[in-house]
Amino acid sequence: MNIQAEISFYPLKRKQLGGEIEQFTEAMNTLGLKISSGPMSSRVSGECRRVFETIGESFLEAAKRGPSVLVAKFSNACPAKTENTNGTKC
């Protein structure tokens, strides 16, 4: 099943935040997820297990660099503009 997640990553106690946020989102991109970044959050879509695994792996790597917060919302209601398993289009 495909899902979509809206995530916001907040590196804490760092002088420069932008590089850390870009590094976090790029890690997910290189691990094969489609990511769309906005000013306050990013949307990630893909196969359910892969989305959870990739977000988790990316967070673990970021947490090694320092304190961090990750806020995430997950949805299977309309993960992408593709055909759903029930044949309807989002």
Closest to 55 (Cα-Cα) out of 11, 12, 4, 1: 4
User: What is the domain partition of the chain in residue ranges?
Assistant: 2-75
| Tens of pLDDT, residues 22-43 | 888 888 787 777 788 888 899 9
Task: Walk along the chain (90 residues) and give the pLDDT tens digit of each residue.
Answer: 889 999 998 888 877 766 778 888 888 787 777 788 888 899 998 889 999 999 998 899 888 988 999 999 999 986 555 444 444 444
The model carries a pTM of 0.75
- Looking at CATH, the fold of the domain delimited by 2-75 is given as Alpha-Beta Plaits (3.30.70)
